[in-house]
Amino acid sequence: MAENEKIYTSISVQTLKRLPIYLNYLKSLDREKTKIISSPVIAKALALNEVQVRKDLAAIKSGGRPRTGYLLEKLIADLDTYLGYGNVNEAVIAGIGHLGRALLSYKGFDAYGLNIIVGFDTDETVVGTEVSGKKVLPLDKMVSLCKRMHINIGIITVPCEQAQQVCNLMIESGILAIWNFAPVNLNVPEHILVHNEDMASSLAILSKHLKKKISREN
């Protein structure tokens, strides 16, 4: 019961973003050597504030161990459970260019419950091939396949000009959430969830910080 409540407790978006980062770091440690880890250590390794680490971890797990720290094994298990639990989501991806292939081949997603089961494209030289063992089908098969298999997530890696059109098809397919890599703002009905992955935004930050830094140094 208490366990279940935790799941529905709303966790802040910022915390949620950091959880995979903790998990990834903890998994990189040698579990033979390190049995226990403390928030100051985690904070230092990831360049975060130690209170923030404790607060984040407190949001997903019950009971810490004052004086000693956290049991590494247990902490990993808790994060794994939280991030993976109930998230067995099947996804499809439209647009099998370089980026589409990179995502289809990426191994890390299933750790978070995402399983990209098939790709779609319009290019006849690509359709019928396989990428990392996953079939590439013609785009006009998408609606029927997604409906039949009750797919919830669609990933868009097509060029800008085709993104809205593909998005419409996905909505017609009954898809509920869209992970959009095309740099366009998609028009969707209110009940559809869109997450834009915006490279230009990231670059703008990096580039301005760098510029400020260089100008400071002169």
Region of 52-60, 93-101, 137-145, 166-174 interacting with a second copy (CB under 8 A): 93-101
Give how far Cα 74 sits from Cα of 36, 59, 196, Å: 9, 15, 33
> Exactly one of 24, 49, 105, 165 binds DNA (CB under 7 A); which one?
49
Closer by beta carbon to DNA, 49 or else 105? 49
CA distance 201 to 65: 40
Give how far Cα 114 sits from Cα of 47, 124, 129, 178, Å: 28, 27, 22, 13
Closer by beta carbon to DNA, 39 or else 173? 39
Residue 97 contacts a second copy per CB under 8 A:
yes
Identify the bridge partners of residue 120 per DSSP, sorted by sequence position.
94, 137
Q: Quick count: other Cβ atoms within 10 Å of Cβ 34?
A: 13
Closer by beta carbon to DNA, 50 or else 197? 50
Query: Minimum CB separation from DNA for residue 216, in Å?
Result: 17
Question: Residue for token digits 């459970």?
Answer: 81
CA distance 58 to 156: 35
Region of 65-73, 118-126, 134-142, 154-162 interacting with DNA (CB under 7 A): 65-73
Closer by beta carbon to DNA, 2 or else 160? 2
86 interface partner picked from DNA, a second copy, none, CB below 5 to 8 A per type: a second copy
Give the footprint of a second copy on residues 54-83 (CB under 8 A): 83
